[in-house]
């Protein structure tokens, strides 16, 4: 025990000591001592400086616009090249089947998924700031595109009635339908690119902060539900309509189960076998990722084996299994998108642009933090915009980074975007030379690949118990984003989720945490008296703290909470005073004693006026003196022991005109009942706003503002000890106070 006490004393003596002795400062004194720097530059000078050309600014602009110039000249070939090549080949092997599969989600022929896995990668190498993300097709974005494509080019637009007989059923002109859907997807991608470029040039990279992590995770989990449901028909081999918009998930599930009796057993067996194999391989890769030199390429194994089996057993012709179909060899020449489709795609393009960017920047920041470099949100917007805009002329659909491929690229040793270049070369070889090999690939295999890749997103359901323990508001954001996106569709769901997230910000500012602070002895700390036993209030002083700024949305709440927490309500005190005055006036009519009224003046001393006890004299002066007695000369008992209130504005970041007026009004109300109000810990920025709002006028002056809470406490204690009590409830601004006694 003695050793513990000795150790405690040793620790105490070894601590750094914080000692300071100075006068109590208020804002009026500080303004006399501090000289503000004058801003000598005019708006014209600042603009000319901003747009002035120099070699340094040109170099900085070039490096910002082409980040590849910052790392490629110093690229260590011997150290990084082999790792990047191995990583690129491994990621390319994953990119191929995912490109084919996600094209199904986008409702376009599979080859367009390969195009979207080639062109954007080449462009991102030059303009992107992340060295580890894998750009290309992504399930969520592909599904959002597919919803728009199906809405604008549904099967019902392309039904053809046979000419050889009226009893034959109509069939869909798939060639015309696919061409129209490709045009819609390409035009949407062009718009997405334009929006992202414009937002990047306008420095709107900060918009990602409004897509908070719980919102994005809830939204992507809901998107995973959409993706999973959309693949059920391919897994079962049934023919159903593709739905989009509100309640599309319910309609899709209903359609699949309504037609489940027509399930293609061969497709189901092949799909389930691939599903189980891929899940086992994914689990092995996860469990033994530190021991495996490279992850087992389960997806490409499944694609190669299932393609061979499908070709050898003629699954398409003999067992009616749906296959990928024709994959043209080579690249298509560039073509201008159909801008006639633009008006109906603007809203959807904004949603795709924002979601694609938020997914990219979230993953890019994770890798940047892990490997010690920085990513620029605005440049990422521009890079993604250029990837989408330029690539759209070569028949691609919108892209972003993929979580699964990025993890493969990083875990296999990828160091820079040279790995992305190798990925694009792998895809190019397939498109130009051997794309036809994958034509017998069953669609149920692609559905299995997509479903297994959703496992990571479905694990985001684990967020619910964690958020329940940590933050109920963030849990609400997650659940609203999930439920709204599942039921209303991804576009409307995202809009509802963002709106709800903004409402939670308003709710938090309108429901801030408030406290009455007390001093912890022998420290300079002030803590909540309801939470800490060591915190004790000063007699007659209330220190009110709120962790929110004061503006139109919460100014009334701030004032009401102030009255409630401090227990001092000016309206109640005024009402009680009036009641006391009435009782004293009534009692004075029956009192025959002589009144001695002592009028105290701070500079002139004390004067006495003795009034006779004769009731006749009182009656003669009733009109002159009686009214005065009822308002000023009647003794009022103090109704509150609080003489000072300190407003701690440490957490206040801003104040608007409505908030300033509310604070001025409450200060005047407290002053009227002899409660002195001061402000403490106000930032210089907030003081500038108060000056702009002309806050310091009338009875409110700068000597009521103090740099710290302790300055304010010492001021209030000193003021109370040197100021006589005003027993009549007159305004403290008066220089004359009246004290009455009875003889």
CATH code at position 705: 3.30.750.24
Same domain assignment for residues 493 and 550: no
Q: In whole angstroms, how far apart are CA 478 and each of 213, 339, 460?
A: 9, 37, 10
Give the chain's domain count.
2
Q: Are residues 553 and 537 in the same domain?
A: yes
Residue 4 within any structural domain of the chain: no
User: Could you tell me if residue 732 is inside a domain?
Assistant: no
Q: Smallest Cα–Cα separation from 562: which of 634, 666, 476?
A: 666
Other C-beta atoms closer than 10 Å to the C-beta of 105 total: 26
Predicted confidence at residue 686, as pLDDT, reads 92
Asked if residue 315 is part of any domain, the answer here is yes
Q: Which residue has the higher pLDDT, 582 or 254?
A: 254
Greater confidence (733 vs 383) lies with: 383
The residue among 474, 507, 540 that closes a domain is: 507
Q: How far apart are CA 286 and CA 459, in angstroms?
A: 14
Cα torsion angle, 145, 356, 59, 50, sign: positive
- 275-307 residue pLDDT tens: 999 999 989 988 887 888 778 888 889 989 999
On whether both 478 and 541 belong to a single domain, the answer is: no
Q: Dihedral of CA 93/99/104/108: which sign?
A: negative
For residue 43, the model assigns a pLDDT of 67
pLDDT of residue 489: 85
Helix axes 418-429, 77-105, angle to 10 degrees: 50
Q: What is the pLDDT of residue 49?
A: 67
d(CA 180, CA 149): 9
Instruction: Note whether 502 and 536 are same-domain residues.
Output: no
**Integer CA distances (angstroms), 655 to 424, 649, 660, 695, in order:** 53, 10, 7, 11
Q: Residue 632: enclosing H or E segment and its boundaries? A: none
Residues 6+ apart with CB under 8 A from 504: 473, 476, 477
Last residue of a domain, one of 485, 507, 529: 507
What gap in Å lies between CA 22 and CA 28, rounded to an integer?
16
Say yes or no to pLDDT of 31 above 70.
yes
Place of tokens 């086992």: 280
Residue 468 burial class via C-beta count within 10 angstroms: exposed 0-12, middle 13-18, buried 19 and up:
exposed
Residue 3 banded pLDDT, cuts 50, 70, 90: low
Q: Report pLDDT digits (tens) over 593-614.
A: 444 444 444 444 444 444 444 4
Among 120, 146, 196, 138, CA closest to 391: 120
Distance separating alpha carbons of residues 296 and 299, to the nearest angstrom: 9
Q: Are 444 and 546 part of one and the same domain?
A: no
Name the pLDDT band for 128 (thresholds 50, 70, 90).
Answer: very high
Distance of CA 412 to the CA centre of its chain: 32
Q: How confident is the model at residue 168 (pLDDT cuts 50, 70, 90)?
A: low
User: What is the C-alpha separation between 142 and 93, in angstroms, rounded?
Assistant: 20
Q: How many C-alpha atoms does 51 have within 13 Å on its Cβ side?
A: 5
Which residue segment(s) compose the domain that 375 sits in?
Answer: 82-160+170-507
- What pLDDT, on a 0 to 100 scale, did the predictor assign at position 612? 43
pLDDT tens, position by position, 466-485: 999 999 999 999 999 999 99
Does residue 413 share a domain with residue 318?
Answer: yes
| Mean pLDDT for the stretch of residues 602-630 | 42
Does residue 448 sit within a domain? yes
Does one domain contain both 404 and 539? no
Place of tokens 């008992």: 637
Residues 478, 543, single domain; the answer is: no
Give percent of the chain above pLDDT 90: 39
Q: What is the mean pLDDT of residues 653-672?
A: 92
| Of 257-261, 366-370, 558-562, 591-595, minimum mean pLDDT range | 591-595
The confidence score (pLDDT) of residue 383 equals 95
> For residue 605, is it within any domain?
no
Cα-trace Rg, the chain: 38
**Residue 519 in 3-state DSSP?**
strand
Same domain? 499 vs 519: no
Beta strands 541-546; 514-520: pairing state: antiparallel
Measured between alpha carbons, how far is 358 from 418 in angstroms, rounded to an integer? 24
Residue 189 and residue 312 in one domain: yes
Whether residue 536 sits in one domain with residue 430: no
Whole-prediction pTM: 0.73
Q: What strand order describes the sheet that includes 605-610?
A: 605-610, 595-601, 736-742
**Domain presence at residue 442:** yes
Q: Kindly tell me if the per-residue pLDDT of 38 is higher than 80.
A: no
pLDDT in tens, 493-549: 888 998 999 898 888 877 788 999 999 988 888 999 999 999 999 999 999 999 888
- pLDDT attached to residue 404: 81
The Cα-based distances of 401 to 177, 203, 282, 380, 534 in angstroms read: 28, 21, 20, 11, 53
Q: Is residue 113 part of a domain?
A: yes
**Is position 491 within any domain?**
yes
Tell me the C-alpha distance between 235 and 301, whole Å.
Answer: 18
Look at residues 33, 135, 54, 150 and name the one whose alpha carbon lies nearest to residue 92: 135
pLDDT of res. 521: 87
| pLDDT value for 209 | 65
Q: Which pLDDT score is estimated for 632?
A: 43
d(CA 398, CA 403): 16
User: Mean per-residue pLDDT for 676-703?
Assistant: 92
**Least confident stretch, 175-179, 399-403, 638-642, 710-714:** 638-642
Average pLDDT over the chain, rounded to an integer: 83
Q: Does residue 89 surpass a pLDDT of 60?
A: yes
674 φψ region: left (φ > 0), alpha (ψ -120 to 50), beta (else): left
Q: Both 207 and 110 in a single domain?
A: yes
Residue 8 has what pLDDT?
A: 54
Per-residue pLDDT tens over the stretch 341-389: 888 899 899 989 988 998 888 888 888 888 888 888 899 999 999 999 9
pLDDT at site 590? 60
Cβ neighbours for 613, distance < 8 A, ≥ 6 positions apart: 592, 593, 594
């Amino acid at each position: 025990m003695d050793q513990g006490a000795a150790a405690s004393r040793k620790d105490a003596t070894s601590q750094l000591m914080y000692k300071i002795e100075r006068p109590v400062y208020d804002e009026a004194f500080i303004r006399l001592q501090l000289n503000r720097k004058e801003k000598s530059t005019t708006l014209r000078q600042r603009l000319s400086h901003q747009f002035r050309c120099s070699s340094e600014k040109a170099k900085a602009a070039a490096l910002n616009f082409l980040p590849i110039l910052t790392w490629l000249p110093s690229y260590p070939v011997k150290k990084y090249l082999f790792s990047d090549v191995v990583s690129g080949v491994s990621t390319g092997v994953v990119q191929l089947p995912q490109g084919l599969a996600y094209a199904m989600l986008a409702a376009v022929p599979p080859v367009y998924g390969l195009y979207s896995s080639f062109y954007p990668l080449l462009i991102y190498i030059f303009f992107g700031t992340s060295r580890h993300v894998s750009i290309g097709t992504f399930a969520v974005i592909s599904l959002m595109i597919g919803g728009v494509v199906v809405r604008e080019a549904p099967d019902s637009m392309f039904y053809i009635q046979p000419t050889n007989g009226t009893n034959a059923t109509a069939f869909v002109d798939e060639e015309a339908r696919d061409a129209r859907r490709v045009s819609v997807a390409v035009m949407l991608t062009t718009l997405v690119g334009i929006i992202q470029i414009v937002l990047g040039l306008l420095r709107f990279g900060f918009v990602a902060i409004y897509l908070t992590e719980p919102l994005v995770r809830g939204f992507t989990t809901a998107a995973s539900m959409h993706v999973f449901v959309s693949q059920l028909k391919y897994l079962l081999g049934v023919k159903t309509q593709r739905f989009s918009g509100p309640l599309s998930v319910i309609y899709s599930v209903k359609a699949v189960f309504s037609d489940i009796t027509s399930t293609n057993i061969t497709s189901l067996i092949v799909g389930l076998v691939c599903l189980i194999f891929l899940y086992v391989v994914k689990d092995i890769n996860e469990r033994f990722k530190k021991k495996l030199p490279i992850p087992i390429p389960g997806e490409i194994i499944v694609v190669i084996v299932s393609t061979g089996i499908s070709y050898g057993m003629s699954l398409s012709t003999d067992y009616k299994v749906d296959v990928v179909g024709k994959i043209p060899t080579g690249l298509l020449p560039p073509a201008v998108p159909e801008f006639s489709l633009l008006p109906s795609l603007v809203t959807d393009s904004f949603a795709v642009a924002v979601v694609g960017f938020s997914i990219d920047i979230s993953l890019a920041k994770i890798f940047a933090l892990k490997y010690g470099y920085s990513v620029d949100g605005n440049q990422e917007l521009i890079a993604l915009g250029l990837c989408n805009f330029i690539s759209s002329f070569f028949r691609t659909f919108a892209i972003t980074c993929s979580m699964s491929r990025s993890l493969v690229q990083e875990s296999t040793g990828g160091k820079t975007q040279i790995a992305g270049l190798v990925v694009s070369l792998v895809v190019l070889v397939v498109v130009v030379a051997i794309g036809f090999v994958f034509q017998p690939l069953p669609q149920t295999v692609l559905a299995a690949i997509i479903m297994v890749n959703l496992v990571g997103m479905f694990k985001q359901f684990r967020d619910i118990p964690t958020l329940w323990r940590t933050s109920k508001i963030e849990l609400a954001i997650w659940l609203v984003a999930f439920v709204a996106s599942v039921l209303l569709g991804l576009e409307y769901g995202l809009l509802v989720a963002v709106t709800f997230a903004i409402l939670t910000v308003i709710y938090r500012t309108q429901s801030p945490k408030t406290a009455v602070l007390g001093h912890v002895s022998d420290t300079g700390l002030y803590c909540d008296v309801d939470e800490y036993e060591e915190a004790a209030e000063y007699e007659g002083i209330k220190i009110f703290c709120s962790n929110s700024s004061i503006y139109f949305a919460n100014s009334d709440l701030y004032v009401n909470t102030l009255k409630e927490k401090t227990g001092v309500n000016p309206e109640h005190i005024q009402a009680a005073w009036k009641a006391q005055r009435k009782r004293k006036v009534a009692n004075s009519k029956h009192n025959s004693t002589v009144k001695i009224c002592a009028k105290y003046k701070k500079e002139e001393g004390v004067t006495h006026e003795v009034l006779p006890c004769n009731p006749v004299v009182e009656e003669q002066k009733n009109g002159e003196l009686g009214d005065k007695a009822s308002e000023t000369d009647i003794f009022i008992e103090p109704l509150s022991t609080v003489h000072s209130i300190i407003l701690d504005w440490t957490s206040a970041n801003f104040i608007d005109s409505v908030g300033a007026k509310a604070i001025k009004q409450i200060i005047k109300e407290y002053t009227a009942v002899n409660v002195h109000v001061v402000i403490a810990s106000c930032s210089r920025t907030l003081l500038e706003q108060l000056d702009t709002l002309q806050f310091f006028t009338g009875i409110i002056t700068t000597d009521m503002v103090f740099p710290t809470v302790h300055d304010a406490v010492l001021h209030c204690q000193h003021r109370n000890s040197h100021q006589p009590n005003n027993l009549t409830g007159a305004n403290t601004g008066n220089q004359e106070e009246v004290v009455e006694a009875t003889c």
